[in-house]
Amino acid sequence: MYLDSISPHPLGSPPLGGFARRDLAAPADRPRLRSSLMALCLSWESVAHRELGQAWRGIWLLPRAQGYPFGASPRRGWAMLVRAGRIIVACLAIFFVFPQECLSQQADLREAEALNRQVLQLYGQGRYAEGVPLAEKALAICEKALGPEHPDVATSLNNLAFLYQALGDYARAEPLYRRSLAIREKALGPEHPNVAQSLNNLAFLYRSLGDYAKAEPLYRRALAIFEKALGPEHPDVATSLNNLALLLQDTGDYAAARPLVERALKIREQALGPSHPDVATSLNNLAEILRLTGDYAAARPLYERALRIREQALGPSHPDVAASLNNLALLLQATGDYAAARPLYEQALKVFENAFGPNHPHVATSLNNLASVLRATGDYAAARPLLERALHITEQALGPSHPDVARSLNNLAEILRLTGDYAAARPLYEQALKVFENAFGPNHPHVATSLNNLASVLWATGDYAAARPLVERALKIREQALGPSHPDVATSLNNLAEILRLTGDYAAARPLYERALRIREQALGPSHPDVAASLNNLALLLQDTGDYAGARPLHERALRIREQALGPTHPEVAQSQNNLAVLLHATGDYAAAKLLLE
């Protein structure tokens, strides 16, 4: 069975948005006149902020671009600057009339700012649940002092939503993100960069939920805003390009994602210099697309350059260095170089533990990744305690219903399945499925992956009748969520075909294997290892039906692909050699078969 792997997974940078480092606050209730004047002053503050921003673009930024788009010019910029200055003078006048109220605002400002700093610290430590009440208090202060529609209330809403999302509580996060977006659109205008930030955050939530149809137009609108407001070569445009590319990558549209990532890399190199950490992030993202499409030779130097940049810019003990170590190890593991991958995973784990402590979710991810290479080399005894520790960390840090808990459950179940403990593996797979369904709904791609994995343990026990409807449901989910040409659809087609083959329904299995092969060739290219897997599966079917002449060229092509992509010592190369040798032996070519097996 072509089992879906949940771990290891690459580590990168968070999406644009997230926490603001400073939240504003203001006084409690006052007499009506004072309250009205203070509210007016705060409203003027937002207007002044917008006018100053537009003035800056008119006076400084736009003359350095080509022409004066959207009606802007230096003259108009100076006019905006004068209006903003008048607003500021009016606010100062109110300060002299009501100094006590303004001083009270400063006290509230300091309290909200202190709360926000605590929230940031807790977030960095992975203590998301502890940050929630503090973020809620900061939000309450801002709402009471500034009113419910102030831009800084939107910032507090965003921060609280980000915590809920980190906890996997998407239902609570969504209305907060939506309200933050509505406030910013009303207060700042629909084309303000902060609106783009809110659009990005809401899109990231939908992407996490697998609702790509909702996420994509939000990402595209955010990108258009950044390009219009900041110019096409601004670093924030690069970040927005990256976010849209990640969405396209999730849907398997690597051809559309790649030019966006390449453009983001070019922008960052020109704007920030070739050794900036953000350049390393873009290098990592481009390398990831190359890895996913099987171009390991092109991916490796990009991963290595990203690692060097981060080590030099951030120091060898920075978490981003650990992320690069993890990603390079993931590539080496994909090529079968387990001996080179393992020390990188171990080094990444050490960095995360030193940076965050032993119980951080990033440590759990790193434990899962190290366990994956041990599993690949057959060292199940060493992998199991790592996976058990990872599960314990995620349950303690994130709660038993978080999707990362489901991933840890899946990985532990996989070790149990591989060691033949099907009775212990099955309830873990079932629990993981339940967590994914509760977190994402019944039609998320992660649910399809979990269905496939549960089917694998039923398959292993020979219960094909129970496995088949799970695989069929997984296929339906993936076709609807990802489209009919996604590589994960090919995986589900392969799994269903394999069940049909094992139950003797060769006629029904063959078109599924052939469709899976076409999808992989088109999505990943003709030389990807997954194409070799499809060739191998189709060849085995033909072999079962006695069509040795049709099977042989497929086995031979699969062997060539694996030797070129993975190297001559990879286990999958040995598998292809064995399969071809069995075929040659069946056709009486004993000398050629013996040569392959030597």
Contacts of 137 (CB under 8 A, 6+ apart): 115
Q: Which helix (H) or strand (E) holds 33?
A: helix 32-56
d(CA 316, CA 383): 26
d(CA 101, CA 466): 70
Q: What angle do CA 172, 357, 359 make, to 5 degrees?
A: 50
What's the pLDDT score for residue 86? 56
| Residue whose tokens read 């003709």 | 526
Contacts of 429 (CB under 8 A, 6+ apart): 409, 410, 413, 450, 453, 454, 456, 457
AA identity, residue 122? L
Ramachandran sector of residue 525 (left: φ over 0; alpha: ψ -120 to 50; beta: rest): left
Per-residue pLDDT of the chain (598 residues), as tens digits, is: 444 433 344 444 333 333 332 222 222 333 333 444 444 444 444 444 444 444 444 333 333 333 333 333 444 444 544 555 554 555 555 445 445 555 566 677 678 888 988 988 888 888 889 999 999 999 999 898 888 999 989 999 999 999 999 888 999 999 999 999 999 999 999 999 999 999 999 999 999 888 999 999 999 999 999 999 999 999 999 999 999 999 999 888 999 999 999 999 999 999 999 999 999 999 999 999 999 888 899 999 999 999 999 999 999 999 999 999 999 999 999 888 899 999 999 999 999 999 989 999 999 999 999 999 999 888 999 999 999 999 999 999 889 999 999 999 999 999 999 999 999 999 999 999 999 999 889 999 999 999 999 999 999 999 999 999 999 999 999 999 889 999 999 999 999 999 999 999 999 999 999 999 999 999 888 998 999 999 999 999 999 999 999 999 999 999 999 999 888 888 889 999 999 999 999 999 889 988 888 7
What's the pLDDT score for residue 294? 85
CB 126 within 8 A of CB 119: no
Q: Which helix (H) or strand (E) holds 463?
A: none
Q: What is the DSSP letter of 61?
A: I
**Coil, strand, or helix at residue 280?**
helix
Nearest to 246 by CA among 223, 225, 268: 223
Contacts of 113 (CB under 8 A, 6+ apart): 22, 23, 25
Which runs of consecutive H residues, i.e. helices, occur in 57-147? Answer: 74-97, 99-124, 128-146
Structure tokens at 195: 């609106």
CB 379 within 8 A of CB 25: no
d(CA 586, CA 549): 11
Q: Which helix (H) or strand (E) holds 25?
A: none
What's the pLDDT score for residue 64? 34
What's the pLDDT score for residue 82? 55
The domain locations on the chain are 1-167+174-185, 398-597
CB 280 within 8 A of CB 306: yes
Q: Which helix (H) or strand (E) holds 18?
A: none
Q: Which helix (H) or strand (E) holds 48?
A: helix 32-56
59-63 long-range contacts (CB < 8 A, ≥24 apart) are: 61/231
**Coil, strand, or helix at residue 118?**
helix
The CATH architecture of the domain made up of 398-597 is: Alpha Horseshoe (1.25)
The gap from C-alpha 534 to its chain's centroid, in whole angstroms, comes to: 27
d(CA 501, CA 509): 6
Structure tokens at 523: 């999505």
Contacts of 390 (CB under 8 A, 6+ apart): 363, 364, 365, 367, 368, 371, 408, 411
What's the pLDDT score for residue 24? 26
CB 359 within 8 A of CB 128: no
Bond preceding residue 69 cis, omega within 30 of 0? no
The gap from C-alpha 356 to its chain's centroid, in whole angstroms, comes to: 20
What's the pLDDT score for residue 596? 85
Q: What is the DSSP letter of 57?
A: I
What distance, in Å, lies between the first and last C-alpha atoms of the chain?
27
Nearest to 559 by CA among 535, 582, 543: 535
Secondary structure string (H, E, C) spanning 334-363: HCCCHHHHHHHHHHHHHHHHHHHCCCCHHH
What's the pLDDT score for residue 88? 52
d(CA 248, CA 213): 11
